[in-house]
């Protein structure tokens, strides 16, 4: 097979006093994703999509939140480790698309910076990475800034 796709999803609570790290960059916001690592739900969803496309298990299995080694881990580092496994399996990243659903930080002003940072982390051009924010219309447990949910779809190609 020459191309494969993978789907990733992640959710984190947003809590006061946490750095707001999403998409590999820090946003100016009074709350941030709670997590064992830095809580970057965007990079976690992308990592799971990548691993899923290559048939390489998932982020929670490779980097358990019960393992002290990954406490406060930089998710950019975790993503790079996942990418190295995908490359070692003979794949490269084609393109990816990401939806960030939250009523916490506004995503639109930071889309370009996120795209550039994610592209840098995945060794692809910025136009191979798309990121968009969606509000939750005030509905559900994640609304009103309580959390962030992310979906990512990634295409990989045989090298
Ligand atoms: Mg996560």
Give distance in angstroms: CA of 136 to centre of ligand 1: 19
Give distance in angstroms: CA of 77 to centre of ligand 1: 14
Asked whether residue 21 carries a pLDDT value surpassing 90, the answer given is yes
Give distance in angstroms: CA of 75 to centre of ligand 1: 9
Inter-CA distances, 127 with 65, 91, 116, Å: 32, 19, 9
Give distance in angstroms: CA of 34 to centre of ligand 1: 9
What are the residue boundaries of the structural domains of the chain, listed by start? 3-158
144-159 pLDDT tens trace: 999 999 999 999 999 9
- Tell me the torsion sign for CA atoms 81, 83, 86, 90: negative
CATH number of 3-158: 3.30.1330.50
90-125 pLDDT tens trace: 999 999 999 999 999 999 999 999 999 999 999 999
């Amino acid at each position: 097979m020459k191309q494969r796709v993978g789907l990733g999803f992640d959710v984190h609570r947003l809590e006061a006093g946490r750095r707001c790290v999403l998409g590999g960059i820090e946003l100016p916001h009074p709350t941030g994703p709670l997590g064992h690592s830095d809580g970057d739900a965007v990079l976690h969803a992308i990592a799971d999509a990548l691993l899923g496309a290559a048939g390489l298990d998932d982020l929670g299995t490779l980097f358990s939140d019960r393992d002290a080694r990954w406490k406060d881990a930089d998710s950019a580092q975790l993503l790079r480790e996942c990418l190295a496994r995908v490359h070692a399996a003979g794949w490269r990243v084609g393109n990816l698309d990401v939806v960030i659903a939250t009523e916490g930080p506004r995503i639109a002003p930071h889309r370009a910076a996120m795209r550039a940072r994610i592209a840098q982390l995945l060794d692809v051009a910025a136009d191979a990475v798309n990121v968009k924010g969606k509000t939750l219309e005030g509905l559900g447990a994640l609304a009103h800034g309580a959390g962030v949910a992310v979906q990512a779809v990634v295409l990989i190609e045989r090298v």
